[in-house]
Amino acid sequence: MVMYLSEADNPLLVYLGVTVVFGGVILYRAKQKRAEREISFCCGLLSLFVLEILCFATLRSSLGLAIFSLACFLCCFYIPAPAMLPVERKAVLITGSDSGIGHEMAKLLDHLGFVVFAGVLNERGPGVEELRKSCSERLSVLQLDVTDPQQIQEAFLEVKKKLESADLWGIVNNAGIMGFPADAELLPMSNYKQCMEVNFFGPVEVSKTFIPLLRKSKGRIVNISSMAGGIPIPKFAAYGASKAALSMFSGVLRQELAKWGVKVAAVHPSGFRTSIQGTPEMWNKLERNLLEKLTPDVKEDYGEDYLLALKTFLLHIPNASKPDLSPVLCDILHALLAERPYGLYTPGKDAYKSLFVFCCFPLWFYDHFISRIETYSKVPKALRAAETKGKNS
């Protein structure tokens, strides 16, 4: 059935509908291509807006709508390609290269021709052995516990000594821990302090130590935060707070170092399968520590079954995470080499979607939206008892 737009119809709604649909497609394609926010792209969108006004004001008919729709359609496929810098003479330090994102990023950058300094927590671990087997001689392994100021200083001196034909172009602050996911009331203070030490104070000290080298090269700092660092997620109070602190630090650093030509980016990945959760042995240790620190009244209110079920939530995380790390690696690479990198990257569809809901909708809607994460949680014993009593009364 063919529909014709008559003068009696309201073309404004149709124009708005076309604008929303095509605008969403254009922005989505720009994000997928990681297109640079260059003048040409902004001018293209501005031209579309001017064309829309002209079509609506002068034609106000199906002809004007057709012209505007055609222009939007063409714009969907004309997304400027990202302008990337050459790799030559560029060295990058990556913390937390034992496994996960840092490990894969070290291999990728080495393959592309970077001089890579892979900071690891255990220089005799299996991850280091794999790096040495699969990477070139350009890659250097550094013993680097980001919570140890002496190791950070030793890594700085080692990097400075080895930088002969290359400049330190970038730092990727990737090292991090998640801790034991539990209600904020249940988490012992040691969990909060450890998350802050590794996820926040460590990257801060590494950045402060190496910034003098980055100012000379006008290089990059890439801080791997988390979706939990941009939005509140139940059971991640300690982890989320430390990553939120890192994201705020990234934003301030981005503004302050801009005058030196140094660019800073924060990356907020959604659920990707890494080793940040730790091992089952570590989970058991954290669980015992949690149970030992709880007061009797808190234990009674929550109930033993609720406390033991927290490990079920932890075990579910790998199953709900994506094994393909390429979206994160591509965004880190863009942050390191793009002429105009973004200040924030959100690899993974859930990260951007959740951030959008949190920023653009009322908090009650966001709380309802995020509550689906709680589907693997039990109800505390005291609340179950109160609910049963209410039904019986």
- Could you read off the pLDDT tens digit of each residue along the chain, which spans 393 residues? 344 444 445 566 666 666 666 666 656 655 555 544 444 445 555 565 665 566 656 655 566 666 666 666 666 665 566 678 999 889 999 999 998 999 999 999 999 999 999 999 999 889 999 999 999 999 999 999 999 999 999 999 999 999 976 779 999 999 999 888 889 999 999 999 999 999 999 999 999 999 999 999 999 999 999 988 888 988 899 999 999 999 999 999 999 999 999 999 999 988 766 666 666 677 778 778 888 888 999 989 988 888 888 877 766 666 666 667 888 999 999 999 999 899 999 888 776 777 778 888 888 888 888 876 665 567 888 887 776 766 666
Question: Which residues, listed in sequence order, are joined to residue 342 by a DSSP beta bridge?
Answer: none
Closest to 72 measured CA to CA, from 20, 37, 3, 35 = 20
pLDDT at position 40 is 46
Under 8 Å between Cβ of 311 and 288: no
- Residue type (1 letter), 348: G
Give the active site residue among 28, 78, 239, 376. Answer: 239
Under 8 Å between Cβ of 253 and 207: yes
Question: Which residues, listed in sequence order, are joined to residue 44 by a DSSP beta bridge?
Answer: none
Distance CA 12, CA 228 (A): 40
Distance CA 95, CA 175 (A): 5
Under 8 Å between Cβ of 281 and 180: no
Query: Distances from the Cα of 362 to the Cαs of 109, 233, 354, 369, in angstroms?
Result: 41, 16, 13, 11
State whether the Cα torsion 368-370-375-380 is positive or negative.
negative
pLDDT at position 54 is 61
- Residue type (1 letter), 245: A
Distance CA 256, CA 248 (A): 12
Under 8 Å between Cβ of 139 and 118: yes
CB atoms within 10 A of CB 299: 15
Q: How far is CA 49 from the centre of its chain?
A: 32
**Burial of residue 7, with CB atoms counted within 10 A of its CB: 0-12 exposed, 13-18 middle, 19 or more buried:** exposed
Residue 368 DSSP code: H
Closest to 219 measured CA to CA, from 267, 176, 253 = 253
- pLDDT tens per residue, range 327-375: 899 999 999 999 989 999 988 877 677 777 888 888 888 888 887 666 5
Q: In degrees, to the nearest 5, what angle opens at C-alpha 216 toward C-alphas 106 and 336?
A: 35
State whether the Cα torsion 234-235-238-242 is positive or negative.
negative
Collapsed DSSP state (helix, strand, coil) of residue 178: coil
Can 342 be counted among the known catalytic residues? no
Helical H segments across 82-224, by residue range: 100-112, 126-134, 149-162, 189-196, 202-217
Distance CA 324, CA 364 (A): 33
Query: Packing angle between helix 202-217 and helix 237-257, nearest 10 degrees?
Result: 20
What pTM did the predictor assign? Answer: 0.78
Q: What φ, ψ does residue 176 adopt, rounded to 5°? A: -165, 160
CB-based contacts of 11, cutoff 8 Å, min separation 6: 5, 56, 60, 61, 64, 65
Give the strands of the sheet with 140-143, arranged side by side. 140-143, 115-120, 90-94, 167-173, 220-224, 263-267, 344-345
The domain 90-376: what is its CATH number?
Answer: 3.40.50.720
- Residue type (1 letter), 350: D
What tokens does 348 get? Answer: 């993974």
Conformation bin of residue 262: beta by default, left when phi > 0, alpha when psi is -120 to 50: beta
**Burial of residue 65, with CB atoms counted within 10 A of its CB: 0-12 exposed, 13-18 middle, 19 or more buried:** buried
